[in-house]
Amino acid sequence: MTRPLVGVLALQGDVREHIAALNDSGADAMGVRRPEELDKVDGIVIPGGESTTMSKLLEIFELLEPLRQRLSDGLPAYGSCAGMILLASEVLDTRPDAKHLNAIDMTVRRNAFGRQVDSFESDLEFTGIDGDPVRAVFIRAPWVERVGEGVEVLARVPHSEGQAADRIVAVRHGSLMATSFHPEVTGDRRVHDLFVDVVRGRA
């Protein structure tokens, strides 16, 4: 089976962890911080970090418009945490000068779960992933408040999690995926497996 080449946006965040997870999931992975590197990849992962800072770095590294264009042309993408924010069409509670990629028709609330002290873990039922629930690590995470037509909800916070109960924390629209949480830190590769399968199918 072919190993697609998947890039990890290497401006901020858990770049090495995502590269390791992608390699484990059957892809060849590389960091991306230049337009010519973006041109080479069959898919892209946008890791966590600080979304407004990442949007500025996308402009500084002259990647914002090339990435928007490749996403518009059908490049598969997976965004975790800040990556989910960047992929959204609408972002709440963000700075007015922050940019996003307008790739998935959804409204995302930034830092919805609260500050760093409100980070938590939960087990999620995840559409498209068989077996045990997915252990999700939320770190100053966003959630999704609205999805547009054709956007599939893959996971919600369980009923037992109080104010966060039933919030949308994973979505898919065609070859685009996003999660509020950080699967790269748990050792469970099933979210990355799913994305690599999406990239392989598209390629």
Question: Which residue numbers are catalytic?
Answer: 81, 182, 184
Nearest residue to 7 via CA among 83, 78, 112: 78
Specify burial of residue 162 (Cβ count, 10 A radius: 0-12, 13-18, 19+): exposed
What's the token pair of residue 192? 């990355």
Q: What are the distances in angstroms from CA 80 to CA 30, 94, 141, 157, 183?
A: 17, 17, 9, 16, 8
